[in-house]
């Protein structure tokens, strides 16, 4: 295999991967989802916006604090309680 053939194969794979990612992003947008730190439903985006509005946290602070909250609930055996509260409050 020559150097040109190797480079051509790598470029083809990179282009195929980029096309696959583009199609995925288009499907998510068409489904009404928005990219935050992953694709979220419109309902989840409303909750996210509400949290940021009430707390004044930046994007990274909101993500970091949510991870801390989930970890604390897990360590204290309160995941079930947290999930029940979320369901009860339509979150």
What gap in Å lies between CA 16 and CA 21, rounded to an integer? Answer: 9
What residues does each domain of the chain span?
Answer: 1-35, 40-90
Per-residue pLDDT of 42-77, as tens digits, reads 888 888 888 889 999 988 888 889 889 889 988 998
Per-residue pLDDT of 7-29, as tens digits, reads 778 888 888 888 998 998 888 88
Output 77 or 3, whichever has higher pLDDT. 77
Fill in the DSSP letter of residue 41: -
| Per-residue pLDDT at 23 | 93
Burial of 86 (0-12, 13-18, 19+ CB in 10 A): exposed
| Per-residue pLDDT at 37 | 65
């Amino acid at each position: 295999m020559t150097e040109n053939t190797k480079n051509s194969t790598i470029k083809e794979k990179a282009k195929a991967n980029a096309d696959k990612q583009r199609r995925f992003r288009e499907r998510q947008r068409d489904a009404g989802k928005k990219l935050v730190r992953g694709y979220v439903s419109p309902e989840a985006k409303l909750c996210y916006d509400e949290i940021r509005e009430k707390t004044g946290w930046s994007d990274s602070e909101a993500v970091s604090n949510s991870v801390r909250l989930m970890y604390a609930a897990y360590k204290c055996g309160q995941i079930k309680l947290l999930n029940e509260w979320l369901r009860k409050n339509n979150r």
